Amino acid sequence: MSAELQALGLDAPTADHLAALPGELVPGRVVRVDKGLSTVLTEDGPVRATWSGAVLAAIAADPQATPCTGDWVALRSWPDDRITVEAVAPRRTAILRAEVGGSSRGQVLAANVDVVAVVVGLHPEPNIGRIERFLALAWESGARPVVVLTKADLVGDADSVAEDVATAAPGADVLVCSATTGEGLEAVRSLLDGNATMALLGTSGAGKSSLVNALAGVELLDVQAIREDGKGRHTSVRRELILLPRGGVVIDTPGLRGLGLQEAGEGLAAAFPDVAALAAQCRFKDCAHVTEPGCAVQEALEEGALSVRRYESWVKLQREAAYMTRRADNRRQLEARKAWIQAKDYRRDSEPRP
């Protein structure tokens, strides 16, 4: 394994998988994707690659197999100077959200991430419910979730706000920083130790691009001022992998105004461990946590041990995740039935006729 690929975050199991593939293939990591083309960084530099027939077939069977930013792939060079992505290595982790169009399939935002940084601007005041939603997605990815509060130079109570956020983010570190003054940046940089990959998630105007520039020490990404109504403008328009000069990899993502969960059962339990622990104590296993007798969640609400705001946020996300699970189950059943009918028709047509 070359030093260049190690710097990009290549681990031994993925390297072994790519090396075992037949043919003269070159490993690389997807930097960005543009309409069927992937920009891939190899040990010899970046290349542009189209998708092979095998990859296109995999995508047709499962859209989540589409190469995305952070994927490790195997490349083939052709005599006519074409380069194709021949295979995508299994993903260690993947940030998956529900597709914007309402499909029951999920969209992979980034792959092979070690840290998911939920980036939230301290100005205007953070939306705690939105942070919980992002954290559920981050936990579900299999990576380490962290909340990074930016724009500390614009407020006078950053530490107080961080305490409130930490209460809503059990199990996740909460860091405060300023890309303008440099406050807290070393703590954020430490998340990239060991050539780690960190994906940035957040709404437009959260300060993701400014944070990337501060970590890189140079102006790599455009930065736009926040609008007068407090909403951010979309600066990043695509997911892009950036190798930082001091080591580590950052994946910047466009601002997400809508973030639907995709079957985030484990992620929700990890984002709400306090509520999950209470739910496990209910008298009935199928407790809906509304009016049932012996409901530990309702008892905690009455005693003030659980805030109404956090309970309502949990209920909303639980319902959303359950809905998406039902839709995905229905889709899988329909696909299985379609495949069974096709196989039955094939067997019938292939049988010898008397």
Answer yes or no: do 151 and 200 share one domain: yes
Residue 122 forms part of a structural domain: yes
Answer yes or no: do 64 and 99 share one domain: no
Question: Which pLDDT score, from 0 to 100, does residue 319 have?
Answer: 87
Answer yes or no: do 116 and 79 share one domain: no
**Under 8 Å between Cβ of 275 and 132:** no
Taking residues 149-175, report their average pLDDT.
Answer: 96
Q: Are strands 26-34 and 72-77 parallel, antiparallel or unpaired?
A: antiparallel
Q: Which residues contact 32 (CB under 8 A, 6 or more apart)?
A: 38, 39, 69, 238, 239, 240, 241
- Residue closest to 301 by CA, chosen among 311, 293, 314, 313: 311
Taking residues 142-147, report their average pLDDT.
Answer: 97
Structural domain of 77? 3-88
Q: How confident is the model at residue 188 (pLDDT cuts 50, 70, 90)?
A: very high
Which one has a higher pLDDT value, 199 or 217? 199
- Residue closest to 102 by CA, chosen among 293, 328, 332, 351: 328
Residue 297 forms part of a structural domain: no
- Residue closest to 211 by CA, chosen among 149, 163, 259: 149
Q: Which of 88, 122, 137 is where one domain is finished?
A: 88
Question: Which pLDDT score, from 0 to 100, does residue 231 have?
Answer: 47
> What is the distance between the alpha carbons of residues 345 and 314, in angstroms, rounded to a whole number?
46
Taking residues 228-254, report their average pLDDT.
Answer: 74
**CATH number of residue 106's parent domain:** 3.40.50.300
List the structure tokens of 288: 């809906």
Query: What does each C-alpha distance from 198 to 38, 133, 173, 293, 314 come to in angstroms?
Result: 20, 18, 14, 45, 26
Residue 223 forms part of a structural domain: yes
Q: Which of 227, 252, 277 is where one domain is finished?
A: 252
* Tens-digit pLDDT profile for residues 303-346: 999 999 999 999 999 888 887 777 665 655 665 566 566 655 55
Q: How confident is the model at residue 239 (pLDDT cuts 50, 70, 90)?
A: confident
